[in-house]
Structure 1
Amino acid sequence: MKTVMLLGGTKGVGFEILKSCVSKGYAVAFCGRNKAEGQQILKSLGAEDRLYFHELDLNSNTGLKDYYDGTIEKFKSIDSLIVYAGITPFSPILDIDEETYDSVFNVNLKAPFFLLKYVLKSMIEQNSGSIVFFGSAHMECGEQDRTAYALTKGALNQLSTHIARHYSKYGIRSNYLIMGWTNTEGEITLRQEAGVSEEALKSQIEESIPMGRMLNPTDPVPMVMHLISDDSLMTTGSIIRVTGGQYI
């Protein structure tokens, strides 16, 4: 039985990955800020013996080792790490404040980096492992109002390449999955807060995505499941796009 560790997992695509892993019979550790939400997911999926939830605020690194330790205590090993959690507030250089900048870097980059400090040691000991970073086309320049987000996604791409290059000798793989524009709860809320109507959003989508629609939260899941499976044992250092043809 594989053990999958999710950075995130209570919402959006992360939750769809969690459900898919459970259906495969995998053991899964996931985390989030809302303890009640996590406990509800444990009950609803009916697989509490194969699930571990850890309450965690990614703005701080203080709980990362506890999350790792709790996962190892319950499941003994970690076969895959999926770095899904991330935030993307409006953050143009001209307007961003330091608090927003720090929050984006803490959640999107610092938390994954320091969780990897522990997870990589475990994977080295077992001489195997698969890491999947959720990336974005913003890494290549980013829209004007996503500067901080673009910087973190570019850094995650570099981190994925670094791991693929230097840790493959331990049987560890690392790949970067570029997820396109997706209609998650967070994305819809962000657009509404910016005053973008549903009609305007639909028009924007039709113009910018060759396949004519946003991704659904389930669209990236098959690729993630492939990358954490033994079917991709020789796939590492890759950038894989699940975008509907959209490029920024």
Structure 2
Amino acid sequence: MRLKGKVAIITGSANGIGKAATIRFLEEGAKVVIADIQAEEGKQFEKELTERGYDVLFYQVNVAKKEEVEKMVEKVKEHYGKIDILINNAGITRDAMLVKMSEEQFDEVINVNLKGVFNCTQAVSKVMIEQGHGKIINTSSVSGVYGNVGQTNYAAAKAAIVGMTKTWAKELGRKGINVNAVAPGFTKTAMVDKMPEKILNYMESITSLKRLGEPIDIANAYLFLASDESNYITGHILHVDGGIMM
């Protein structure tokens, strides 16, 4: 098993890509903290996995709230004694064209998708520094690389994650901590399902593999970067996008 005995926090893991990653990590022997703001979905997912014999812990948290994140990390450390892996997967969209985007829409996405990553990484990295090891994987996006119509807020946050990933890789490498990011393409989740069909068809047409991604495609990338197989990789942005816009 590639993650046997490892403790992983996966944010936004009650649904979508995070849910797929949770199952994949458990299959590889990890103990997983399901960190999500959605209490009902999170508790139900925890129950299902516990009944299957997996070691999981659901913790309701708003990653945009620094105090909530710090309390979660403290509780996880108390419960498991360590934190080996952090997957900063939580994210939201509040799409609108530039001239119509409200301040609230902009701030909400920045607070969750960018500040949330900062909050979680800052809190968890302190634990990892004490341990002398750790793997941190952030979630960027092709929107952060190429931009995307109607996603000023989302693209800004995901582009900034690239810069933070490389900065943290430089700061934390000497402490034995690898920091990388995954940049997914358009992936079949509830978030993408809200997009107009004609846009999804267009995205398929400009993708070399001529399909949208599946949550498991991204989960497997997280797994690789969280495993010992990536021990000499840091500061890297792994594109998992089917060859979009090549």
Query: TM class by shorter-chain length?
Result: over 0.9
DSSP 3-state at the match of 1:181: coil
Q: Output aligned runs, 1:138-177, within 5 Å.
A: 138-177=143-182
Match of 1:115 in 2: 120
Deviation (angstroms), 1:62: 3.3
DSSP 3-state at the match of 1:19: helix
Alpha-carbon spacing, 1:25–1:139, altered in 2? closer, same or farther (3 Å): same
Q: Do the aligned residues in 2 keep the contact of 1:92 with 1:148 (CA within 8 Å)?
A: no
Question: For residue 205 of structure 1, what is the amino acid of its counterpart?
Answer: M
Q: Equivalents in 1 of 2:201, 2:64: separation in Å?
A: 35
Q: Equivalents in 1 of 2:245, 2:18: separation in Å?
A: 22
Alpha-carbon spacing, 1:210–1:178, altered in 2? closer, same or farther (3 Å): same
Match of 1:89 in 2: 94
Which residue, 45, 50, 53 being the options, matches 2:49? 45
Which residue, 115, 127, 142 being the options, matches 2:132? 127
Match of 1:220 in 2: 218
Alpha-carbon spacing, 1:141–1:124, altered in 2? closer, same or farther (3 Å): same
Alpha-carbon spacing, 1:164–1:64, altered in 2? closer, same or farther (3 Å): same
Deviation (angstroms), 1:247: 3.4
Q: Do the aligned residues in 2 keep the contact of 1:7 with 1:112 (CA within 8 Å)?
A: no
Q: Which of structure 1's runs of 4+ aligned residues deviate more than 4 A?
A: none
Q: Do the aligned residues in 2 keep the contact of 1:177 with 1:241 (CA within 8 Å)?
A: yes
Q: Deviations over 1:165-205 (max 9, x none)?
A: 111001100111110110101210x21xxxx24xx355313
Bigger mean CA deviation after superposition, 57-66 or 217-226: 57-66
Q: Equivalents in 1 of 2:101, 2:111: separation in Å?
A: 15
DSSP 3-state at the match of 1:237: coil
With the length of structure 1 as denominator, give the TM-score of the two structures: 0.91
Alpha-carbon spacing, 1:49–1:205, altered in 2? closer, same or farther (3 Å): closer
Alpha-carbon spacing, 1:246–1:51, altered in 2? closer, same or farther (3 Å): same
Q: Do the aligned residues in 1 keep the contact of 2:165 with 2:179 (CA within 8 Å)?
A: yes
Q: Output aligned runs, 1:57-96, within 5 Å.
A: 57-96=62-101
With the length of structure 2 as denominator, give the TM-score of the two structures: 0.92
* Unaligned runs of at least 5 residues, structure 1: none
Bigger mean CA deviation after superposition, 65-74 or 201-210: 201-210
In angstroms, what is the RMSD of aligned CA positions?
Answer: 1.7
Q: Percent identity?
A: 28
DSSP 3-state at the match of 2:42: helix
Q: Deviations over 1:109-131 (max 9, x none)?
A: 11111222211111111111111
DSSP 3-state at the match of 1:213: coil
* Unaligned runs of at least 5 residues, structure 2: none
Q: Do the aligned residues in 2 keep the contact of 1:9 with 1:18 (CA within 8 Å)?
A: yes
Question: For residue 246 of structure 1, what is the amino acid of its counterpart?
Answer: I
1:25 lines up with 2:23 in the alignment: no
Match of 1:36 in 2: 40
Q: Equivalents in 1 of 2:55, 2:39: separation in Å?
A: 18
1:101 lines up with 2:106 in the alignment: yes
Deviation (angstroms), 1:59: 4.3
